[in-house]
Structure 1
Amino acid sequence: MTQSAPTKPSEFHHLLQQQIRNEFTASQQYIAVAVYFDSHHLPQLAKRFYTQATEERRHAMMMIQYLLDNHVDVTVPGIDDVITDFDSVRAPVELALKQEEAVTEQITKLARTARDNGDYLGEQFMQWFLKEQVEETAGMNTLLTIVDRAGHDVFNVEDFVAREMNAAPRADSTAPKTAGSGA
């Protein structure tokens, strides 16, 4: 069986490669946030961000699989620096919201680039990520609102997160295939 030659990377492919780095960085940032909450004995917030870290890594792996499926060479990137010191419970949640807003801009740019360049497969691939960003940004916005309302009573935040945000993620049959998943 002969292998196909790698496809010449397009502008969309280059941006997607950069986004893989962004997703791995986001994953590490969420681990740093989770560790902060764990070290402050806030297990529900920690669990929420450990789960979010896994989700961001999964996004990167979906992007890797897309490039592999399209015979585009993939370079596994390093990550950018992450913030590990926070002065309040609010600070890491605010950082997470800003991060999700930035990722939304990046994903939107990817979808726009695919559309502008007539890459209909790339545009279709990005649709799931656009939907995902609406959910993730809304969730972080809600969490920041709850943190602000709770003031110094972080146990109310813990109760809210346990009740409303730490349910097992639903399987999404429309999600792109993840590299290494065998699916």
Structure 2
Amino acid sequence: MAINKNVEKILNEQINAEFWSAYFYLSMSNYFNANGMPGFANWMKVQFEEETFHAMKMLDYINERAGRVILDPIPEVPSEWSGVLNVFEETLKHEEEVTRLINGCVNVAIEEKDHATVNFLQWFVDEQVEEEATVGEIIDQLRMFEGKGHGLYMMDKDFKTRTFTAPAE
């Protein structure tokens, strides 16, 4: 059965939001690279890869449901921040907005009684809980040492080891 048109529309909007998120994190990665923090740059590059994966997962789902994917232009993303803590505070705000958007997708799927999409979106709901918790922990750590000194060095060193592994389907 073909996907409901209202569900298709909201998922297309979410695909665009996921690609914007990918650009947002890639911009943050470049900011960190320019400021001599390769570990933080790597952490954000992995975020870029995750967001691209999310967009493609939704794109594939629409296609699987005989829908039509429409890719819109990606609005400009920020490129400057006032420091590491500011970057992660903006990241948390952004993830909270993504959670709101995902919840909106779920609400439309529920309204349209599209149980397959409600089930599909549950993975994203769970992912957002994890994303917000992870970024919150990083902010707590950064605040402990005011985003400076040895703590920042240790986090940068640790973040160099982060890699993207696509979740098992």
TM-score by length of 1: 0.84
* 1:111-122 map, 5 Å: 111-122=106-117
Structure 1 match to 2:56: 61
Q: Which residue of 2 aligns with 1:26?
A: 21
Give the CA deviation at 1:136: 0.8
- The residue aligned with 1:145 is 140
Structure 2 counterpart of 1:180:
none
The residue matched to 1:78 in structure 2 has which SS? coil
Match of 1:178 in 2: none
AA at the equivalent of 2:74: I
- Structure 2: distance between partners of 1:101 and 1:165: 25
Q: CA deviation at 1:22?
A: 0.4
Q: 1:80 aligns with which of 71, 75, 78?
A: 75
Give the helix-richer structure, 1 or 2.
2
Using structure 2 for the length normalisation, give the TM-score.
0.90
Aligned to 2:152: 157
Structure 1 segments unaligned to the other structure (5+ residues)? 175-183
Task: Give the partner amino acid of 2:10.
Answer: L
Residues 95-110 of structure 1 aligned to structure 2 (within 5 Å): 95-110=90-105
Give CA-to-partner distance per residue, 1:54-90, whole Å, 9 cap, x none: 1101100111000100111111222122110112222
Q: Which amino acid aligns with 2:33?
A: D
Q: Post-superposition shift, 1:10?
A: 2.2
Does the 8 Å CA contact 1:146/1:157 hold for their aligned counterparts? no
Q: Which runs of 5+ in 2 are unaligned?
A: none
Distance (Å, rounded) in 1 between the aligned partners of 2:82 and 2:166: 36
Question: 2:61 is aligned with what amino acid?
Answer: Y
Count of residue pairs brought into register by the alignment: 169
Amino acid at match of 1:75: I
Moved more, 143-152 or 30-39: 143-152
Q: Distance in 2 between matches of 1:171 and 1:73?
A: 24
Q: Is residue 131 from structure 1 mapped to residue 108 from structure 2 by the alignment?
A: no
Equivalent residues of 2:20, 2:77 under 8 A apart: yes
Q: 1:99 to 1:154 in 2, by over 3 A?
A: farther
Counterpart contact for 1:34–1:50, Cα < 8 Å:
yes
Instruction: Select 1:41's aligned residue among 36, 39, 56.
Output: 36
Q: 1:24 to 1:158 in 2, by over 3 A?
A: farther
Dislocated runs of 4+, deviation >6 Å: none
